[in-house]
Structures are given as C-alpha cells and as structure tokens.
Amino acid sequence: MADVLVLTEHADGVVAKPTLELLTLAARLGTPVAVVIGTPSAEVVEKLGAYGASTILSADDDALTSSVGAGVVSLLESLVASRSPVAVLLTSTAEGKEIAGRLGVRLDAGVLTDAVDVTLSDGSVVVEQSVFGGSTIVHSRVARGVPIVTVRPNSVAPAESPSSPAVEQVSVSVPAEGGRHAVVTSRSAVTAGGRPGLTEASVVVAGGRGVGAAEKFALIEELADVLSAAVGASRAATDAGWYPHAAQVGQTGVTVAPQLYIACGISGAIQHRAGMQTAKTIVAINKDAEAPIFELADFGVVGDLHTVVPQLIEEIKKRKG
C-alpha cells in the first residue's frame, strides 16, 4: 500500500489528539507515515506507533520552525517527491491550512480544507466537508496532483492500531534566499488556563449576551471545568469585551464540532450557528423561548442561566461523586 503522509503536532512530549485522528483516517487510505518536526521523544514515538504510524520521518532543522510556512512546505515537497504518497493529511488549524495552501501551489495539486471525513472510493480519495456553517455537506476529490487535505479536529474517534515504527531522519534544504522568508524572532505558547483547546475539546461550554458581564463568565468557566471542557463565547460577548476574542465561536471566529456544546445565554444568530451547529449534541439555556438556538438544541431550557447553571454544576459534582 502507498504511504499517506501525516504532518504531526506535538508539544512537550505530548502528541496532539487531532494528530491521532489523522493517523486513524490515514490507515483507511494506505500506510500511515508520521512526519515529525524536531526529534521525537520516546513517548512521542510510542504514541504515534500505538495509533498506527508505520514509519516516523523526523526532520530537525531550525529553519523548519523559524520560517513562517516556507520550511515545512519545502520538507513536505521533498517527501512527496521521494515517497509518492496517496495523500498528505494535516490538521485544519490556521497554520495547517496555510501550509496546505502553499504546498498546493508548489506541487500544483488540489487542496481541500476542513474535511470532516476522508474515504477511499474506487481508488480515489474522497473528502467530505461541512460548509456554510454546517448547513451543506459536500463531497469532493482532487482533479490533479496528490490530494492535500486538512481535517477538522474531532472528525473521527482516534483508533489504536499498535505498530513499532522505525524512525528515519530526513533532511530538508530550505533555500536561505535573503529576505524571502518571514522569520519568527520570538514565540510564546498560548495556554488556555489548563483547559483543552477550543477546536479539539470534546466538550465546549459557551456564553453569550445573556451572561451579562465579564465577571459573570466565571460561572461559564466553572461549568466548563466540571466537564473538562473548553470555554467559548458568542460574538456579542467578545465584542462587549467580556471574554477574549480568541474564544469567539462563529462565522468570524472559531468553528467547533465537539461531542457536546452547551450554549448559555446565546440567542443563536447565523453568525454563531455557523461555528457550532455540527456539534454532536447541543444543549441551550436561554431566557427567550423564541431564540433560534432552540431550533438546534437537542435539549433546551427556557430559563435564566444564572440560576440554571449553578444548579447544573452542583448536580454534575454530585453525580461525579
């Protein structure tokens, strides 16, 4: 079977969950080959192997992390040339999509972003996308070149498939053309206060206009923490300055597709629905019985979140013992 290249993400010895999802999808298309930037720790090798990586290609070069986009694109370009993969899979983050786009130009190959499913049909890679905020489902394939596909986190459950991957060092020549690359001069990791990342979280608790004030978001955070959830916010809440802009879920913000989405005090304008309506299960709490969020909610409560949420927190604590 042909290789499927998976661009992995790892930090501090921990492989990102979306990378494990990519390996699971890659196994449907061919032989999963994990591309690791940097030298993988034993834990990273073990984890990638546990989820089906047959080979780990490790590239350790400062140019890969110091240039914006250009280095990783050159690495993948050379790996596509040497290994003729059936597809290249990346995570649908902003950076992943940028790399996919540049690689598509470099190879004149089709790029499909934000896939929610990837299958092999009659020998060609078919990608399912959920577009226009989840209102339309589209199936596509590439017409030329190796399919370059970015996959949304939470699109598939990672499946263990133990193997003992060989680790190969690969080298990459990033042309040091003077001034042609943007250079990262300093970098600080963003942490979500110990909470999972918004796009990869299994559970998201989000607050909107009904929260009423910045300090009231403590209640949203408390509910998120008892559920080990990420915290999101509607545009009304971020525009009001109640919660950081990076947490905005919606058309002009982040798109999430968790197992469970709890919308608190969010009316559910199209702007917001576009970012969350593919969540598997949606719970909504809103004072206004006419709010459009109730058209989406599997379970809706017409009521005041300031009384419902504290009770919900107590109930969850009690049941979790």
Q: What's the rounded Cα separation, in Å, for the pair 11 and 84? A: 28
Q: Does 102 bind another protein (CB under 8 A)?
A: yes
Distance CA 231, CA 249 (A): 10
Q: Which stretch binds another protein (CB under 8 A): 41-49, 161-169, 213-221, 281-289?
A: 281-289
Stretch that binds another protein, among 25-33, 35-43, 214-222, 252-260 (CB under 8 A): 252-260
How many Å apart are CA 255 and CA 97, to the nearest integer? 14
Q: What is the chain's Cα-based Rg? A: 21
Write down the least CB distance from residue 53 to another protein, Å.
22
Contact flag: residue 120 with another protein (CB under 8 A): no
> In angstroms, what is the minimal distance from the CB of 321 to another protein?
11
What the block records as the tokens of 235 is: 């545009």
Q: In the complex, what is the shortest distance from the CB of residue 215 to another protein, in angstroms, rounded to a whole number?
A: 21
Identify which range of 21-29, 160-168, 211-219, 304-312 contacts another protein by CB under 8 A.
304-312
Between 33 and 204, CB nearer to another protein = 204
- In the block, residue with structure tokens 């950076």: 95
| Binding-site member from 218, 228, 245, 288 for another protein (CB under 8 A) | 245
By CB under 8 A, tell whether 101 contacts another protein. Answer: yes
Residue 56 or 205 with smaller CB distance to another protein: 205
C-alpha distances in angstroms, 289 versus 77, 79, 226, 284, 315?
54, 55, 27, 11, 24
Among residues 12, 176, 180, 193, the one that binds another protein under rule CB under 8 A: 180
- Stretch of 28-36, 126-134, 160-168, 212-220 lying at the interface with another protein (CB under 8 A): 126-134
Whether 115 and 137 have beta carbons less than 8 Å apart is answered as: no
Applying the rule CB under 8 A, the residues between 10 and 69 that interact with another protein are 11, 68-69
Does position 281 interact with another protein (CB under 8 A)? The reply is: yes
| 154 binds another protein, rule: CB under 8 A | no
What is the token pair recorded at 272? Answer: 């917001």
Distances (CA, A) of 195 to 103, 231, 236: 32, 8, 22
Which H or E element spans position 109?
Answer: none
- Least separation in angstroms between residue 62's CB and another protein is 15
Would you count residue 157 as binding another protein (CB under 8 A)?
no
Looking only at the bridges linking them, the beta strands covering 10-11 and 14-15 are antiparallel
Token pair recorded at residue 190: 């963003």
Per CB under 8 A, 297 contacts another protein: yes
Specify the DSSP element, H or E, that contains 263: strand 260-264
Cβ neighbours for 228, distance < 8 A, ≥ 6 positions apart:
195, 196, 202, 203
Single out the residue of 46, 60, 95, 225 in contact with another protein (rule: CB under 8 A).
Answer: 95
Alpha-carbon torsion 46, 51, 55, 58, what sign? negative
Q: Is residue 187 a contact point for another protein (CB under 8 A)?
A: yes
